Each structure stands twice: as structure tokens, then as C-alpha cells.
Chain A
Amino acid sequence: MVFKLNSHLLSRIASGNGHGEDSPYFDGWKAYETDPHHPTENPDGVIQMGLAENQLCFDLIQDWLMKNPKASICTPEGLNEFREIAIFQDYHGLPKFRNAVANFMEKVRGNRVTYDPDRIVMSGGATGAHETIAFCLANPGEAFLVPTPYYPGFDRDLRWRTGVKLIPVDSDSSNNFKVTREALENAYEMAQLDNIKVKGLLITNPSNPLGTILDKETLRSIVRFINEKNIHLVCDEIYAATVFSQPDFISVTEILQEDIECNLDLVHIVYSLSKDMGFPGLRIGIIYSYNDAVVSCARKMSSFGLVSTQTQYLIATMLSDNDFVEKFIRESKRRLAARYRAFTHGLDQAGIKCLKTSNAGLFLWMDLSGLLKEQTVEAEMELWRVIIHEVKLNVSPGCSFHCLSPGWFRVCFANMDDQTMHVALSRIKTFINKEADTKKPKKTLRWQGSLKLLNPPRIYDDFINSPHSPLPQSPLVRARN
């Protein structure tokens, strides 16, 4: 049955494209979905490197689960808890769950900080957390500052249904994309000139897509900045446990514990278990706020995105097992580090550099600006299409992250096995060698398919043509291993 649309019957929110999916980047996903790589069934298929998933430690999880059937209320061992848990819909969440999450967050930060379980509020993944925080802190038309490059999902999560704007804080490759006080001030001033009220600053630390962490000085500078302007600071620490080499991760919480002037009511943390533990499907989003009113409000809003108590119970049991947690955190870092090294080494051999300050995340930030025929977004997009259709890797172009320096690409490395990684590396090597050999003018890289040229994304609120990355629309993971 075909049901005709009558689109003017729908709301403005529904009719607009704030969902962010009308972007050309879906070509990459389409290419992958129509021709996905499989080691035996489709070795020449497109390798998915655009999905920041952490698949390196499932054996540890599996092992733990086998030994702890009681962690499930749906096993004979755990069944005696079934009724109570299935009926529990209190938006405070299971106390055991909140305690376990607080404990985990502390351990991830080397026990250098403490978290109060009563400040932990649930949400529908970090996606839900960001939207909720925006609803709590800003009115429609008001804005958050966000350093570029940033996770494309923010455009939807923070703006779509809330009507809140995002104002980019510029950074570029000249200083390794660091967030400077000057850039913050500039962005703030621009907003003032445009008569836009800034309500907060959103930082992601460790950064997506950079894979870098903020050093103490920068963090302190940021805290001072928001305090002076009396605006909120939202710290998305979703990649906290993926810091795989020195220096150690410094959470905003550590800064607050030091001798620094700050109105605590301004600081909020967004967290999730999607990246650190590799559980995006379980929808475990967390808002941690130092502001009582925000905790209270966000908690009420969490009714729209509570974590399934079946899952709360499982996670509560798992994360209360200190031995397991410590082992997991340690081993996960080790494997991420090994993967990162293997990849960057392989790229290095092919003459490709990655951001040297990266030491975290599930991806590397690769510099292909040397391959661009000109330093423009259009050229970057051309190169990207070649990578998708010729090299057959779905990587994410920097412009989808609103990056100002063209030619950078985010390449995910933790969502595949070693074998696939080697295939990806050899394809890249082959491609680069071909480039070097032919020494043709870069024009020949032009992809013959439909080229959608973008307007350089000078971002304010009417994002119609802005690049977005497809979001949690990951197809069901096929057994590649």
C-alpha cells in the first residue's frame, strides 16, 4: 500500500532537514552498504572506516558474561530479580546502576576524582543527553559555542528539536587544531555582534575527530573563560577510557578539584558507555551536572529516554566488579594503542602523516592535504569520492566535521579485526604508490560520478547545505571476523 504524503500536514521540525541526513556523505554509507567488505565472501568490498565503534574487547565481555549469568534477570540464575526490575520505572534509575557508573567513571580517571551517584542522570545515549542538556540550558535561538572540527551529530542532537544554534570556534592545522583563548573570544564576540545570546560552550574531550586530549592549561583557560562570561560548560567525555598512551586524560572534574575560581552551577558532563565499552546498542547515556536545578530538570526529562532496567541491571552488576573493570580498562587501552601504532606505522610507510598529538579515541586524523589539487573543500570532496570508489574505504572527510583546513580525514580503526586492517593499509599503500608513480596532474582524480560541490560551510544556523555525517545509522554488524 502506498500512502501519499501530505507534507504540509506536518510540523516545521518534521518538514525541515534538521535531522541532518540530506547530505552527500551518504554516498560513503551507500557504497559500503551495497558492497560491504567481507574477508572471504567479498574481499574487494568497501571497508567501513567511518564508524567510531570499539570492537576490540568483546572477548573480555563475553568471558565475564559466561561467568556471571546472574547479571541477567532473564536467566534462571537471575530470575528472582525479574519482577522488581521489570516493573521499576523510577527515573532516578536503579541505585546500583548509578553507583556502578559513578565507580566506573572514577576508575577511568585513575581514581583521581570522585562522582556523586545522585548527580547521575540517565538519557537515551549521549545523543539523548546532548539534546536534553540543550533543552535545559538554552532557549530557541540561543547558542552554544563548539570548537571545530566537531562530531557531525551535534548539528542534529543540539539543534533539531530544540531550536538552539551552534557557533563554531575556529581552529586549524597550523597549531594542531588546538582550542585557543583567542578563538573562543572571537567566536563569542561574533555572536554578540549578530545579537545571538551564547548560553554555553560544548567541548569534547578527548576530541572527536582529532583523537587528542586537552592539556591542563587549556582546560583551565576554558574554565576561566566560561566563568568570566557566565556561560555553561558542557564537557562530552565519551571517549575518556580510550586514552591509550601518555599523557593521561584530564577530566574537567580534576580541574574543578583544584584551586580554581568557578561557579559549579555552570559545569556539566555528558558521558556514555557506547565508546569506552563498545555498547552503543544498549543506549546508556549519562548527564552528570554540578547544578542541582539541572540535575532535577534533566532527570524529569529523562522520562523520554530512560535506560532499560534490564540493561541497567546488567551494567550495574558488570561495573561493580572492580577486578573486571580494572582489567578491562587496562586491556582496552593496550589494544587501542597497538591498533593505533600498527595503523599509523603503516600509513607512515606510505608517506601519510596523522595528527601527531593524538593519543585517544577510536580513530586517527589523517592528513591528505598533500594530495589535494587545491586546498579547498571541493578538492577534499573529490579526493574523498576517489577513496570511496577506487580505494574502497569509507572514511569521513574533514568538512563533515566542519574542519577549516581541507584535506584531513577521520579514519576509524577499532571496528575491525587485524586482517581487515591489513587489507585497508595495503589498499592505501597501493593507492599512494599509484599517485606517486603516475605523477599526473591531480585533475585525473576527478570522479566521474555525480559531483556535488558544497558551499564552504561557514556555519551559523541555516545549515541547509552543510555537510553532515550519517549518524547512529550503522547497519547491523555483519560477522566479518
Chain B
Amino acid sequence: MIESLFVLSPTGKVIIEKHWHELIPRRVVDYFNEQVSKAMTEGEDVTREDVLPIIASPKYQLINVYRDGLTYLSPVTKEVDPMMVFEFLHRIPDILQEYFGQVSETVIKENFVTVYQLLEEMMDDGFPLTTEPNSLKEIVPAPNILNKVVTTLGATTSVSTRKMPHGMSNLPWRKAGVKYNSNEIFFDIVEEIDAIVDSTGKAVSCEAHGTIQTNSRLSGMPDLTLSFVNPRLVDDCSFHQSVRFNKWESDKVLSFVPPDGHFRLMSYRVNLPSQQNLPIQVKPSINIGANGAKFDITVSLRSTDGKPVENIVLTLPLHKSTTTLTAQCNVGQYMFDPVGKVLRWDVGKIVPRERAPVISGSFGFGSASDAAANAGYNIGVEFLINSHSLSGLKVDVLKLFNESYKPYKGVRTMTKAGRYQVRA
């Protein structure tokens, strides 16, 4: 049972609180803030992210989610499956995002009545009630300018123009009576590569995580079937509630009645063989002495089917005792953050068969220390390749049943670096 929710600002102040069961005194927030600051002073490089998601106090278990600077705190008194609480707490910002486009302290304050209503509908007496964005929008209208203008211009009648939605759809995730002039549906297949690459350039672990983000703008109750050219590639997957699990089990096709608007149709994982050619190669070499180190890092393209790799950014967190850094790079620009001790190199775009970007330079430690000299270095890599799918998963055909129109269909693919890390 999830009894209460406090949403805390980055400074630990309560922005909004909601009690579904009984009032929980605000003292608990003070206790929580104390614990957080205590935890954060414990180690040298402990950040807010390192604070435990469940903090036990004498009376409550303080379940907290930290996301985008806001803390969603739910004190519970009794045994409860913590995963359910986390899942629910994460749904809240998801839905606020859906409603307001972004989630921040100001957004919540500006729309607090709507937020309050949403919280009321999402939970009933400690048990999740309606968490599907499409159903919620039937009950709590999303604020948008169009709504306002329509009600203002339809001036003559009283405000009860916003009649109560009469026909709710029989599918919790889809509104009834959706109508578009042009029917279209777009699929964005985004693959993120998670990899750990060791200093010799060999992948220690490597896998692609794909999501199919869908934007559906279809009228009525369309029933879709999406099939892939090579569905066997998929190693493991999870689906939106609308997808019929059995169909995937038996035929490896996605059969579903889509929600209206944006939603994530499917997430999947593809294990890449460790011999798999990663799209780019980062070759670091760091020679460390007692007082500092010399380094150079080369980035080169590997297999991308001739597509350019864009938005390449390398970040190299340095040891805490680093004070100075000088470097030169032939492409892009670099920046050293002397507070966070991070070197960030914005490489930009690499086109195949161009000369490889290199950065070289040296950094010095403020005081000679063994610890600094023995520390290992990890380079974080970001990049983006358009219209490329590393796993090779391809959409074959989309069929539409139940409606007579012919929708416009679009599929885009994109490969990004996910948790991509190179050890030096």
C-alpha cells in the first residue's frame, strides 16, 4: 500500500504532497533530508545518485525516487513490494511529462491543481487505479491552449460545455471516438549500444537495447499488425500493454490496437557477438607518472555502412587531485571542467575516409600521490548514427484491420551510444 507522496524540490522542500490513506506528518521529510545530507557527506565522491533508494527510519521505510532533480518520496509503514512503489513513483513523472511536456518544480507549481487531480485519479486508498495516460486524459483534461480557445470561442453556453466524457473506450489505453483528417503512424526504432571496451579495443560486454517509439494518429479503433524481416534476432523483449503476447509467442508479429499519441510499443535487447564491429573505435593511451600524465586519444570509424557518425562526445573523468590540463585536438573542441575534474571533447561529426580525430595533451596532479598514479580511467562515449540499426532489425510490413482508410506509415531508425564506456 502506497500511503503518501511528497514531491521535493532540489533543495528538499515540499512542492506538493498527497495522502491517499492517512496523513503522514511532514516531519518525515525533515528526517529524510537529514539522512540524504548525511549520506552525501560520508564519502568523497558520493552524489545524490548514490543515496540508497530505500532508507529505513524507525517508523517508516522511506522509498524515494530521484529523477530530474526532483525527489518523489513515499514513506511506507508496512511490508510492500518495493518494486511496485518504484514503478508507480516513476509513472508519476512519466505522466506529468505526457501532460505538460516537461517536469520541473515550476511546472508542478504552475499546474498544481491538475497535478493534484492526477494524483487523485492514479491512486485510490493506496492502490493504483488509473495509470494509463489515455484513460487519464479522459478524466482529467490536459491543459492545452487549443482547449482554452475552444471553450472561449464557443462562448454562448455555460461552462459545462466540457461535458462529461460519455463514451469511454473499452480499452483502457485508447480513447473512444478519435478522429484525424490525415491518418498517420510513425515508428522510431532507436537502438542504444551498451558496451564496455577494454584498452586493447576488445568489447568486454556489448549489446544493443532497442525501443520502438510510436506516434499514432489514427482514427477509430485500428487494429495493427507489425511484422519484422528478422524477428529472431530479438533476444528478449517487453511490450506495451496493448500488444498481444500470444501473437508474438506464436508468430513473432506485434498485433495491437495502438493508444492514441506517443507511446513505447516495444523494448528489446539484442546480444551482439563480442566480435561485432562497433561503429567507432576509441584508442586511448595514458601514461601516468607521479606528478601527472600524458595522454592521447584517437577516434576512428569502423563499420557504419558508409553512414557518418554524428554528435561524437568523449568525456574523461580525471582523478580528483588533477589541477591542470593542456591539450590539443585536430577536430572539434575540448573543455576541461576544473571543478568536476572532467575533460569533455566535442568531436562532432566524422565522415568515412576522413582523417581520424586525435586529442593529445597532459594533465598534472596538484600533489604527487600514489592513489592518483594508480587510478584507472574510463572514457564515456556518445554518438549517433542516423538511419542505421546496429542489430539489423528491420520492419517488414504494417497491416491495418478494422478501419477502411489507408494510413501514412513512416519508419525511422537510429543508433545511439547508450552506456558506452572505454577503459584506458
Are these two chains actual partners, yes or no? no
- Taking Cβ atoms with an 8 Å cutoff, the residues of B that contact A are none
